[in-house]
Structure 1
Amino acid sequence: MSSTTTIAHDKLARLIGTPGCPVLIDVRIDEDFDLDPRLIPGARRRSHRDVDVWANELHGKRSVIICQQGKKLSEGTAALLRYHGVAAENLVGGHEAWSNAGLPAVPLAKLPALNPLGRTVWVTRARPKVDRIACPWLIRRFIDPDAVFLFVTPAEVEAVADRFNAAAFDIENVFWSHRGALCTFDVMIEEFGLNTEPLSRLAAIVRGADTARPDLAPEAPGLLAASLGLSRLFSDDLEQLEAGMILYDAFYRWCRDATDETHNWPNRRPGA
């Protein structure tokens, strides 16, 4: 019988990128982390020594604890969290097993600095359409579930980024932006080491919709139509982002699980 306090890396991989993904906590000590300074997508670093302090952040949430090999640090931390009433599981084999399975991991060096609440802060142009919704979706689902997004007047993006220690994206002459034929969503997938088949398929759809290249994917015009519709439905950019999260959740699950599925209205005539 499988343990109710552990989770295998293949099962966790199916949860990452979905709204039902647990909170992922990496408790590797610095010496182990330095051997592979990457995070399982969406994970945040915490010290096992301070678990009694940060346990309150996880109340009412399911969590998965990750150490180097899935042994004493994650076992003990998960057990302490359960003592505090938090539903916590230990990742079997830890970060090492995840890495050995060839699953994607995010280089910590590519993440922007955290604000005092431990969140990344991003800023872009107001009135988003495609890329400026797709990128926040990718960040929330695979990089930082608590990321903060600021939508401001285009001319002020870089100044706001500087003043508020935020990462500017999808404007000219910044790191997180278009590169040649690639849109910002493509660049983030590449830089964050998220080159999985479903995300690469989604990237082609986003690129087609964002750069007027419907030939790149048959689904691109549909994404563009839905994105433009959302921009008309919502005058508040943050409300539009929340609605867009559902849109991209659906496109991602199609890219991952349903590309071979078809749907036809059955034509059943009486007596046929």
Structure 2
Amino acid sequence: MPSPTTISIDKLARLIGTPHCPALIDVRNDEDFALDPRLVPGSLRRPYQDVQIWHSAISQTSAVVICQSGKKLSEGCAAWLRQLGLPAESLEGGIEAWFAAGLPAVPANKVPPRDATGRTVWVTRARPKIDRIACPWLIRRFVDPAAAFLFVAPQEVAGVAERFHATPFDVEGVFWSHRGDTCSFDTMVEEFGLASDPLLRLATIVRGADTARLDLAPEAAGLLAASLGLSRMYSDDLAQLEAGILLYDAFYRWCRDATDETHNWPNVRQGAAQ
């Protein structure tokens, strides 16, 4: 019988990547973390002994706490969070169970350094269309929910990255960018260890829309149209990003849950006049 203080890996896996995912807190000690320094997608490491300090930084309405095997560290931190007024559960079986299930895990050394507030900071060209909205969506949903994005003049990306300790993406000559005939979104899916079937399907759609190869997926033309429409609707890049996040939420859920569903209205009853 499931414990009332835990969440199963299957249930958590269904929440990750959605707007309503709880805060994911990894409280493994340094020795356990060194055994396999990968993270449940979207999770942030915190010291278990400081839970009464860092709990106030959690902006989500609930939390899941992750330790090595789902025992004392995660159970204790989750109990403290509940005591402090935040609904919280421990991941059943801990990260060992997550790894054993073969679920996506983000290599910690691929996550850029965080700023003083604990966020990763990214910089790219202004006036985003497709890749520069898709990549922030992926980062927010699977790497760092608090990530900040700076949109600047193309010629200033490198300088802003240096002076403001930001990670550049989707520009020439940087790590997080196009490779061959793939786009920056493909690079992030691969490098962050997120190659699930739904995200690979979405990556094909993004690649088709972003590289003018609409034949790669029937949905690529729709993504291109919606993306160009958003770019005409919003003059503010951050407002466009927030609208685009919702667009990619919808595409992701279609890729994950609805590819076999069709819509046919009105249904013609058998034998009815046509």
TM-score category by the smaller chain?
over 0.9
Instruction: Give 1:132's aligned residue.
Output: 132
Question: Per-residue CA shift, 1:211-253, capped at 9, x if unaligned?
Answer: 0001110100000000000000000000000000000000000
Alignment of 1:22-41 (within 5 A): 22-41=22-41
Q: Deviations 1:3-37 (Å, cap 9, x if unpaired)?
A: 33210001100000000100000000000000010
Structure 1 residue aligned with 2:247: 247
User: Equivalent pairs: percent with the same residue?
Assistant: 71
In structure 2, relative to structure 1, the CA distance for the partners of 1:134 and 1:34 (3 Å cut) is same
Contact map agreement 1:185 1:206 (CA 8 A) in 2: yes
Looking at structure 2, the residues matched to 235 and 59 of structure 1 have their Cα atoms a distance apart, in angstroms, of 28
**1:99-248 paired onto structure 2 within 5 Å:** 99-248=99-248
Deviations 1:82-108 (A, max 9, x none): 111110000000000000000010011
Contact 2:140 2:147 in 1 (8 A): yes
| Counterpart contact for 2:23–2:60, Cα < 8 Å | no
In the alignment, which residue of structure 2 is the partner of 1:17? 17
**Cα gap change, 1:251 to 1:59, in 2 (>3 Å):** closer
Distance 2:241 2:37 in 1: 31
Q: Offset at 1:57?
A: 2.1
Matches within 5 A, 1:82-101: 82-101=82-101
**Amino acid aligned to 1:12:** L
Post-superposition Cα deviations, 1:119-173, rounded to whole Å, max 9, x if no partner, equal 0000000000000000000000000000000000000001000000000000000
Superposed, 1:255-266 pairs within 5 Å as: 255-266=255-266
Superposed CA deviations along residues 37-68 of structure 1, whole A, max 9, x for unmatched, are 01100000000110010112237611000000
Separation in 1 of the partners of 2:6 and 2:267? Answer: 48
- Alignment check: 8 A CA contact 1:59 1:85 kept: no
Whether the aligned pair in 2 keeps the contact of 1:58 and 1:86 (CA below 8 Å) is no
Deviation at residue 266 of structure 1 after TM alignment:
1.4
Contact in 2 for aligned 1:140/1:146 (Cα 8 Å): yes
Asked if 2 retains the 8 angstrom alpha-carbon contact of 1:60 and 1:86, the reply is: no
Contact 1:40 1:104 in 2 (8 A): yes
CA distance in 2, matches of 1:7, 1:98: 12
2:165 partner amino acid: N
Q: Which moved more, 1:2-11 or 1:156-165?
A: 2-11
Q: Which runs of 5+ in 1 are unaligned?
A: none
Aligned runs of 1:32-111 on 2, under 5 Å?
A: 32-58=32-58, 61-111=61-111
**CA RMSD of superposed structures (Å):** 1.3
* Secondary structure, aligned partner of 1:123: strand
The normalised TM-score by structure 2 is 0.97
Q: How many residues align?
A: 272
SS at match of 1:145: coil
Structure 1 residue 70: Cα displacement: 0.1
The offset of 1:2, in angstroms, is: 3.0
Q: Unmatched 5+ residue regions in structure 2? A: none
Alpha-carbon distance between aligned partners in 1 of 2:244 and 2:123, rounded to the nearest angstrom: 17
